[in-house]
């Protein structure tokens, strides 16, 4: 029972943490856009939800398709290409969701960006999966990957890459752009906490019932 209660308390802590992130996202949604060249790791511990703008230049032959993605019931990829900001920093630029072909032997075609341009967008970071975080980059003109592992990607490409993704925001953007900045919201964690506390209460009731039954039997004896 102690374990169940501790699990419930842990879920409450996660809920409070996620609620803080949700409030931060709400504030950033209405905040003014800032130049991407002014971002600093010392200034921001979390980049998700920041609205930024800047002039970006495509880095040729650095293209990725993140495998096992879903959007509106379809299975496919999230397409990324490497871009360089005016201050020389490299970042992953999200092209958007691309539906998978009928055979995994072939990768879908993406109209990659070829020329530098000014972009408005927002940033996000993906949660690291402790059970599966390996890049698993497949060789080719476009690399299919299983996870966004920046440490491995930097070694494979021999470049420093900022730890966030840039999602452009434009009315006529050709590809759909999923937006799920928080995998599990605070309400889900509150719900899980209630479940664990409910199980602990049920176990307490069963224990009391068993104890009362034992006491009654002892009296009868």
Residues 95 and 21 in one domain: no
Tell me the pLDDT tens digit for each residue of 68-105.
Answer: 999 999 999 999 999 999 999 999 999 999 999 989 99
45: in domain = no
Which of 58, 59, 56, 53 is closest to 36 using CA atoms? Answer: 53
The closest alpha carbon to 90, from 157, 141, 188, belongs to 157
Indicate whether 45 pLDDT > 90.
no
Same domain, 219 and 133: no
In-domain check, residue 35: no
- Does 197 reside within a domain? yes
Residue 103 belongs to what domain range? Answer: 50-168
| 8 sits in which H/E element | helix 2-29
- Domain-located, residue 116: yes
Neighbours of 207 (CB within 10 A): 11
* Same domain for 200 and 157: no
Per residue in 91-149, pLDDT (tens digit) is 999 999 999 998 999 999 999 999 999 999 999 988 776 667 899 999 889 999 999 99
Which of 84 and 212 is assigned the larger pLDDT? 84
Do 196 and 110 share a structural domain? Answer: no
Q: In angstroms, what CA-CA distances link 56 with 2, 51, 83, 116, 118?
A: 54, 15, 6, 5, 6
Give residue 86's pLDDT.
Answer: 95
pLDDT tens-place string over residues 166-185: 999 988 899 999 887 665 55
Q: Look at residue 206 and tell me if it is in a domain.
A: yes
**Within a domain: 82:** yes
In a domain, 179, yes or no: no
Same domain, 127 and 96: yes
List the structure tokens of 96: 């958007």
Q: Do 56 and 161 reside in the same domain of the chain?
A: yes
Indicate whether 109 and 59 sit together in one domain: yes
Are 144 and 193 part of one and the same domain? Answer: no
Confidence of residue 54 (pLDDT cuts 50, 70, 90): very high
Statement to judge: residues 127 and 201 lie in one domain: no
Give dist(CA 123, CA 47) in Å, integer.
Answer: 6
Domain count along the chain: 2
- The answer on 163 and 197 residing in a single domain is no
59 and 20 within one domain: no
Q: Is residue 87 part of a domain?
A: yes
Give the pLDDT confidence score for residue 141 in this predicted structure.
Answer: 92
Tell me: do 159 and 110 sit in the same domain. yes
């Amino acid at each position: 029972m102690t374990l169940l209660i501790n699990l419930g308390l842990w879920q409450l802590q996660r809920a409070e943490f996620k609620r803080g992130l949700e409030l931060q996202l709400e504030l950033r949604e209405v905040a003014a856009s800032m130049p991407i060249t002014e971002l600093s790791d010392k200034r921001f511990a979390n980049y998700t939800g920041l609205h930024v703008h800047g002039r970006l230049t495509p880095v040729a032959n650095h293209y990725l398709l993140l495998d096992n993605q879903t959007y509106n019931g379809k299975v496919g990829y999230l397409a990324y290409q490497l871009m360089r900001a005016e201050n020389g920093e490299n970042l992953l630029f999200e092209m958007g969701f691309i539906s998978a072909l009928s055979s995994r032997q072939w990768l879908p075609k993406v109209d990659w960006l070829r020329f530098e341009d000014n972009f408005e967008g927002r940033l996000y970071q993906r949660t690291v999966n402790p059970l599966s975080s390996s890049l698993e980059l497949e060789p080719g003109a476009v690399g299919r990957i299983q996870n966004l592992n920046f440490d491995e990607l930097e070694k494979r490409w021999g470049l420093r890459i900022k730890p966030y993704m840039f999602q452009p925001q434009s009315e006529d953007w050709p590809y759909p752009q999923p937006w799920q900045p928080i995998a599990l919201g605070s309400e889900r964690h509150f719900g899980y906490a209630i479940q664990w506390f409910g199980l602990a209460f049920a176990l307490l009731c069963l224990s009391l019932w068993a104890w009362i039954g034992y006491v009654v039997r002892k009296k009868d004896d």
